[in-house]
Amino acid sequence: MLISEIVTRRSIRKFQAKEVPRAQIETMLAAARLAPSGTNKQPWKFIVYRGRAKKEFVEKMAEGLTRESDGTSMVLPDSRWGLPDAHNTLRIMEEAPMLIAVLNTCGKSILTPLTRDQRVTEIVDSLSIGAAIENMLLQAEREGIAALWIANTCFAYPELVAYISTEQQLIGVIAIGYGAESPAARPRKPLEEILEYRE
Ligand SMILES: Cc1cc2nc3c(=O)[nH]c(=O)nc-3n(C[C@H](O)[C@H](O)[C@H](O)COP(=O)(O)O)c2cc1C
What's the mean pLDDT in 64-78?
95
Distance, in Å, from the CA atom of 86 to the CA atom of 156, rounded to the nearest integer, reads 10
> Following DSSP, what letter does each residue of 97-159 receive, concatenated?
SEEEEEEETTPPPTTS---HHHHHHHHHHHHHHHHHHHHHHHHHHHHT-EEEEE-GGGGGHHH
Q: Tell me the C-alpha to C-alpha distance, in Å, between residue 5 and each of 13, 89, 137.
A: 18, 24, 9
Query: Is the C-beta atom of 149 inside 6 A of ligand 1?
Result: yes
Contact 64, 160 (CB under 8 A): yes
Written as one letter, the residue type at 2 is L
pLDDT of residue 169 exceeding 90: yes
What number does the ligand 1 atom closest to the CA of 133 have? 31
Distance between Cα 198 and ligand 1 center (Å): 31
pLDDT of residue 96 exceeding 90: yes
The pLDDT of residue 13 is 98
pLDDT of residue 192 exceeding 90: yes
Q: Name the average pLDDT for the chain.
A: 98
Secondary structure (3-state) at 171:
strand
Number of H helices, E strands in the chain: 7, 4
Residue 69 φ/ψ, nearest 5 degrees: -75, -30
Secondary structure (3-state) at 23:
helix
Residue nearest to atom 3 of ligand 1 (CA): 151
* For the chain, domain boundaries: 19-77+86-180
What's the mean pLDDT in 146-150?
99
Query: Is the C-beta atom of 148 inside 6 A of ligand 1?
Result: yes
CA angle 176–177–183, rounded 5-degree value: 90
CATH superfamily of 19-77+86-180: NADH Oxidase (3.40.109.10)
Reported confidence tier of residue 146, pLDDT bands at 50, 70, 90: very high
What's the mean pLDDT in 24-28?
98
Query: Is the C-beta atom of 153 inside 6 A of ligand 1?
Result: no
From 148, 157, 170, 174, mutation site for ligand 1 pocket: most ligand atoms within 8 A of C-beta = 148
From 149, 157, 160, 173, mutation site for ligand 1 pocket: most ligand atoms within 8 A of C-beta = 149
Contact 47, 101 (CB under 8 A): yes
> In terms of Cα–Cα distance, which of 63, 69, 164 is closest to 109?
164
Distance between Cα 121 and ligand 1 center (Å): 24
Secondary structure (3-state) at 58:
helix
Distance, in Å, from the CA atom of 43 to the CA atom of 15, rounded to the nearest integer, reads 29
The pLDDT of residue 72 is 85
What number does the ligand 1 atom closest to the CA of 183 have? 26
What number does the ligand 1 atom closest to the CA of 92 have? 11
pLDDT of residue 21 exceeding 90: yes
Distance, in Å, from the CA atom of 71 to the CA atom of 79, rounded to the nearest integer, reads 12
The pLDDT of residue 107 is 98
What's the mean pLDDT in 74-78?
96
pLDDT of residue 119 exceeding 90: yes
pTM for the predicted model, two decimal places: 0.98
Query: Is the C-beta atom of 179 inside 6 A of ligand 1?
Result: no
